[in-house]
Chains A and B, each alone.
Chain A
């Protein structure tokens, strides 16, 4: 297992379209996190799962955003009716419950045109 994997690496979409990103965490990690990073800012928390349960969602996560983690393995983040303000790097991280450090994937760069 080589780490957290995110697909696609880059996505360009037209405003109003729906997009879905996938994250495959490190296999034994039961916690999975989604963050968003815009230029000049640090990553901002969106939501996290422990196994298949979504435990917390940020106020940043509008109704157009939904995340799932079926069977507690990979996770998907869907954005409906994309807006230009959704353009950002979407980062996924995973950790083992009780451990401090979280390990990040390489991110998905979303550009909404």
Chain B
């Protein structure tokens, strides 16, 4: 069963505009949520995380929003840059040291 879902396999955005990537989860035991970026033939790179006690976390151009009641989180990238073009994975874990459960990814293309 897919406990973490990214229903949009791809997204295309104009440079300078906002990119919004969405993620839904089903397991209410998840307490930490992370976003990773992945380029082809490389391992995932950690971007930003949020714990379930918060509803927003910001780091530069990246902001993650968490809606626990809806079991939904989103990653906002503002402004989007061509170098942001990659596959973005949402991941969740039950405790800080636990294993990660990943979604299937969203491929973001930022058009110049």
Partner of A42, one of B93, B96, B105: B105
Q: What is the total of A-B residue contacts with beta carbons within 8 Å?
A: 62
Contact, CB under 8 Å: A31 / B97:
yes
Partner of B99, one of A56, A97, A98, A106: A56
Partner of A40, one of B34, B91, B99, B104: B104
Contact, CB under 8 Å: B42 / A102:
no
> Does A104 have its Cβ within 8 Å of any Cβ on chain B?
yes
Contact, CB under 8 Å: A42 / B89:
yes
Contact, CB under 8 Å: A42 / B102:
yes
- Residues of A near B112 (CB, < 8 A) are none
Q: Give Cα A43 to B93, complex, Å.
A: 13
- Residues of A near B100 (CB, < 8 A) are 33, 35, 43, 45, 93, 102
Residues 21-38 of B, flagged 1 when their CB comes within 8 A of A and 0 if not, give 000000000001010100
Contact, CB under 8 Å: B99 / A48:
yes
> Does A99 have its Cβ within 8 Å of any Cβ on chain B?
yes
> Does A2 have its Cβ within 8 Å of any Cβ on chain B?
no
> Does A110 have its Cβ within 8 Å of any Cβ on chain B?
no
Contact, CB under 8 Å: A101 / B43:
no
Closest to A44 in B: B102
Contact, CB under 8 Å: B44 / A43:
yes
Contact, CB under 8 Å: B102 / A109:
no
Residues 74-113 of A, flagged 1 when their CB comes within 8 A of B and 0 if not, give 0000000000000000010101011111111111010000
Task: Take A43-B89, A100-B34, A100-B49 as given contacts and tell me if A91 and B44 are in contact as well, using a CB distance cutoff of 8 Å.
Answer: yes
Contact, CB under 8 Å: B99 / A33:
yes
Contact, CB under 8 Å: B45 / A104:
yes
Q: Give Cα A105 to B46, complex, Å.
A: 11
Chain A contact residues, CB within 8 Å of chain B: 4, 6, 31, 33, 35, 40-45, 48, 50, 56, 91, 93, 95, 97-107, 109
